[in-house]
């Protein structure tokens, strides 16, 4: 059942955010999207966004009616800070602090804060993000406790209630594929395989059964394993 609330989806062009977009379109009265350009190596994900936004509206007439404006925000400061394998050159590896070198400090906190400011101006009630602490790389800004604290801070700082919804928080990648199938059937699964991008290296030259990617970075490994487990089930 669609709620009368209105949502802003943090939409990168990847598998998780595309699944969250479908979730929001099935649930909320009006849905807008926002993407962020922060100099990421896998910037090709941003090129995928327009295709997905167009094709996802072809899956259901009511989704097309609910999907509103898309927004793109530049965040060059993250690139200037650097120090991560997702921006510039760097080996993807575990660091001494037990976090992978792909961790961008403060990224999700900034995304959600900017998203909340935009949602405030657009009259939207809910932020929807693909953060997950089940199958993830250990990023502390993906934890629900972090997002609960930020939600409280945003409510105090903006004197309004904008909730942060995380449909994938407690599911693994296999369940994410399953959710996409439940939301949009084979057509949505095919769209995710063909048009989303999740590979940290930004490789869209190699096509696998589960989609495009280098095939050996942590993001590709999670996506592949989840796909295999979902298909096997």
CATH number at 107 reads 3.40.50.620
* Least-confidence region, from 43-47, 84-88, 139-143: 84-88
> Is the confidence at residue 2, as pLDDT, over 70?
no
Beta-strand relationship, 211-212 and 207-208: antiparallel
User: What are the distances in angstroms from CA 231 to CA 17, 161, 219?
Assistant: 21, 40, 18
Mean pLDDT (the chain) is: 90
> Is the confidence at residue 97, as pLDDT, over 70?
no
The values of phi and psi at residue 165, to 5°, are: -100, 135
Q: What percent of the chain has pLDDT over 70?
A: 87
Which alpha helices (DSSP H) does 12-171 contain, by range?
A: 15-27, 44-56, 61-66, 76-81, 107-122, 144-158
Domain with 131 in it = 3-232
Average pLDDT over residues 99-115: 77
Question: How many domains in the chain?
Answer: 1
pTM of the model: 0.92
Q: Does residue 87 or residue 187 have the better pLDDT?
A: 187
| Residue 206 · residue 213 · CB < 8 Å | yes
Q: Does residue 12 or residue 90 have the better pLDDT?
A: 12
Average pLDDT over residues 154-160: 96
User: What are the distances in angstroms from CA 186 to CA 19, 143, 171?
Assistant: 13, 30, 20
pLDDT attached to residue 38? 82
pLDDT band at 107 (very low <50, low <70, confident <90, very high): confident
């Amino acid at each position: 059942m669609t709620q009368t609330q209105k949502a802003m989806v943090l939409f990168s062009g990847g598998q998780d955010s595309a699944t969250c977009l479908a979730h929001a379109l099935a649930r909320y009265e009006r849905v807008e999207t926002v993407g962020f350009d922060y100099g990421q190596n896998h910037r090709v994900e941003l090129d995928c966004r327009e295709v997905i936004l167009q094709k996802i509206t072809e899956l259901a007439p009511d989704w097309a009616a609910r999907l509103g404006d898309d927004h793109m925000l530049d965040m060059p400061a993250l690139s200037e800070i650097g120090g991560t394998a997702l921006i510039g050159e760097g080996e993807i590896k575990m660091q001494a602090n037990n976090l992978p070198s792909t961790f961008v400090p403060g990224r999700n906190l900034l995304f959600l804060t900017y998203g909340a400011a935009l949602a405030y101006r657009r009259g939207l009630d809910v932020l929807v993000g693909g953060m997950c602490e089940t199958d993830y790389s250990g990023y502390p800004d993906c934890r629900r406790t972090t997002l609960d604290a930020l939600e409280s801070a945003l409510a105090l700082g903006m004197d309004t209630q904008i909730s942060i919804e995380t449909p994938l928080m407690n599911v693994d990648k296999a369940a994410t594929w399953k959710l996409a199938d439940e939301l949009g059937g084979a057509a949505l699964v095919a769209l995710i395989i063909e048009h989303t991008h999740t590979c940290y290296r930004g490789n869209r030259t190699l096509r696998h059964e589960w989609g495009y990617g280098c095939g050996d970075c942590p993001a590709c490994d999670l996506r592949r394993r989840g796909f295999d487990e979902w298909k096997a089930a």
